[in-house]
Amino acid sequence: MMVGAASAAPTLFFTSRFEPSRSVNPDSPLSTNIARQVARRRTFAIISHPDAGKTTLTEKLLLFGGAIQMAGTVKARKSGKYATSDWLEVEKQRGISVASSVMQFEYDDCVVNLLDTPGHKDFSEDTYRVLTAVDAAVMVVDAAKGVEEQTIKLLEVCRLRDTPIITFINKLDREVREPLELLDEIESILKIHCAPVTWPIGMGKRFQGVYHLLNDEVLHFVPGEEKADQEFQTLRGEAIDRLRNEFPQEFDTLDMEVELVRGAGASFEIEDFLKGKQTPVFFGSGINNFGVREILRALVDWAPPPQARAADTPAGSRYVDPAEQPFTGFVFKIQANMDPNHRDRIAFFRVCSGQYTPGMKVKQRRTNKEIKIANAVVFMANERQRSEEAYAGDIIGIHNHGQLQIGDVLTEGESLHYKGIPYFAPDLFSKPRLRDPLKSKQLQKGLRELGEEGAIQVFAPLVDSNLLLGAVGPLQFEVVEHRLKTEYGVDAMFQPAGIHTARWVTCDDAAHLAEFVKAQQMRLARDVDDNLVYLADNHVNLSLAMERWPRVKFHNTREHGQQLG
């Protein structure tokens, strides 16, 4: 059937706005201010491979959300042109700002929190951990390149919590790959069902826009100057026919592809999206503002507000409802060296329930100590501001001098621990070497503390007294080198360790585990929490060990503070 042939009244798009009752535990007092605030929150991150268009889309979302007035702000930061005073030196060189880590803005009565996932050379364990603090993610795919390596890794992390994913296939203004082929690739590589919501009409110079499968209308693309308030024309009925007459070949292809897509039964189902099983797919061109509004609407209308989170308590496991009165949350990232003389740090804290108010006293579960949060900040798109209130889904930055660690839970009293803030198996390993051998004690102390804080993973090999460091991105080594120098007065260099990957190992049978340790001790180490880790020289080596020791479990993540059995 020809698309747009029936000029019946368009079906309403985005009708399924999340009602609080669908997301918040029905037993919770829905009438409270907290519940209303929670229902307005949308907290998400953008995941992509470098150069797919994450920075561009971030900027356009902020522009459409009214958080910035001019394109170029985020981009300038990325390229280091943006001047501000409080950057960590390493960051300064790289042009990342603390303020761009979290960007909050309001859109259509929703409070949207966009969390940055550091990419390029800044890719680190933080990138993964940010994903533990969001309720949804937008995946940007370069339509010329398809699914790329970093996207695969990031999606795996999203899958740990079945995070709902919205897909944006970018750069349709260029000659790119066939849309059906791209969807096929996403489905087969990322193992997630695709439900196209828009479908491209042509590409490159002949890109005419997208057909909206739910609304039976065409969003007409007109290339040109990018403007913040650029509105693309929506065509229906006869207006579509006129465009069809101009571009018959593109529309014939569209008819055929839409029929195939509909025939395959890939229609959008919000429940499947919320379970992380299906992703709504949008095509567009970020740089041209095209398709950006649809992404923002999908976030506001379809992405979930904060959900109940699993936690361990002395009385057993329970789900903490975001509308519960007592304040709770966890630290998912530490930004250090705001001022190296004072070991000044900002802990990025995701609120999970209750309400933050300045000066409130909370309990740190790990140490059982009381902490007063007097000076938290929220990160607005362009500046840091004192936060007057925050609710589940919001991120606050808590100044501290090293008391807070990644994974730390703060509550208004209850002793609970949030699950799902893991350490990830490192891909990069190095051996620190001292330039001044007399500083060995300081090096051990520095590495232990930085390891506990979560800046880097530190392993003590069973048969070697030299510590090993593990990271998921090279920036982590640079940061540690810098911090060892400025905070501990240790001049160290890092040499490659010849290790490919690591796995935490456990076994139900202690005697069998002891046998494994004896046989494999050359390849084993202990992490900061004394857990046993298998260090593999290469992929084959790991596969062989797994084959030979089928009763030993090899894990590629472990929870913060968790002592594996």
Is residue 287 involved in binding ligand G4P (CB under 6 A)? yes
Is residue 48 involved in binding ligand G4P (CB under 6 A)? yes
Q: Dihedrals φ, ψ of 547, to 5°?
A: -70, -45
From the list 282-290, 339-347, 486-494, 506-514, the region that binds ligand G4P by CB under 6 A is 282-290
Q: Dihedrals φ, ψ of 49, to 5°?
A: -85, 150
Tokens describing residue 550:
């089928």
Is residue 170 involved in binding ligand G4P (CB under 6 A)? yes
Is residue 86 involved in binding ligand G4P (CB under 6 A)? no
Reference 234, options 181, 183, 290; nearest CA is 290
Q: Is residue 257 helix, strand or coil?
A: helix
Comparing CB distances to ligand G4P, the nearer of 52 and 362 is 52
Spatial CB neighbours of 458, under 8 Å, sequence gap ≥ 6 = 447, 448, 450, 451, 467, 468, 469, 470, 527, 528
Comparing CB distances to ligand G4P, the nearer of 283 and 554 is 283
Q: Which residue type occupies 349?
A: F
Is residue 279 involved in binding ligand G4P (CB under 6 A)? no
Spatial CB neighbours of 265, under 8 Å, sequence gap ≥ 6 = none
Comparing CB distances to ligand G4P, the nearer of 146 and 446 is 146
- Number of residues interacting with ligand G4P: please give it, by CB under 6 A: 17
In what helix (H) or strand (E) does residue 128 lie, and over which residues does it extend?
Answer: helix 125-130
Comparing CB distances to ligand G4P, the nearer of 111 and 281 is 281
Is residue 286 involved in binding ligand G4P (CB under 6 A)? yes
Work out which of 3, 39, 52, 347 binds ligand G4P, going by CB under 6 A.
52
CA–CA distance, 488 with 545 (Å, rounded to integer): 38
Q: Is residue 444 helix, strand or coil?
A: helix
Which residues from 105-124 bind ligand G4P, rule CB under 6 A?
A: 119
Reference 274, options 114, 135, 394; nearest CA is 135
Tokens describing residue 3:
């698309």
Work out which of 92, 145, 159, 174 binds ligand G4P, going by CB under 6 A.
174
Q: How far is the CB of 291 from ligand G4P (least distance, A)?
A: 9
Cα-to-chain-centroid distance, residue 279:
16
Tokens describing residue 36:
């209303």
In what helix (H) or strand (E) does residue 186 lie, and over which residues does it extend?
Answer: helix 179-190
Between strands 110-115 and 41-48, the pairing is parallel
Work out which of 10, 29, 50, 80 binds ligand G4P, going by CB under 6 A.
50
Comparing CB distances to ligand G4P, the nearer of 72 and 413 is 72
Is residue 51 involved in binding ligand G4P (CB under 6 A)? yes
Spatial CB neighbours of 528, under 8 Å, sequence gap ≥ 6 = 448, 451, 452, 457, 458
Around Cβ 126, how many Cβ atoms within 10 Å?
Answer: 26
Work out which of 4, 53, 146, 451 binds ligand G4P, going by CB under 6 A.
53
Is residue 202 involved in binding ligand G4P (CB under 6 A)? no
Work out which of 285, 289, 307, 531 binds ligand G4P, going by CB under 6 A.
285
Comparing CB distances to ligand G4P, the nearer of 71 and 484 is 71
Q: How far is the CB of 51 from ligand G4P (least distance, A)?
A: 4
Comparing CB distances to ligand G4P, the nearer of 284 and 393 is 284
Q: How far is the CB of 227 from ligand G4P (least distance, A)?
A: 15
Work out which of 125, 173, 217, 481 binds ligand G4P, going by CB under 6 A.
173
Q: Is the dihedral of CA 139, 142, 147, 148 positive or negative?
A: negative
CA–CA distance, 347 with 421 (Å, rounded to integer): 14
Comparing CB distances to ligand G4P, the nearer of 96 and 456 is 96
Beta bridge partners of residue 169, listed in sequence order: 141, 283
Is residue 381 involved in binding ligand G4P (CB under 6 A)? no
Is residue 54 involved in binding ligand G4P (CB under 6 A)? yes
Residue ranges in contact with ligand G4P by CB under 6 A: 48, 50-56, 119, 170-171, 173-174, 285-288
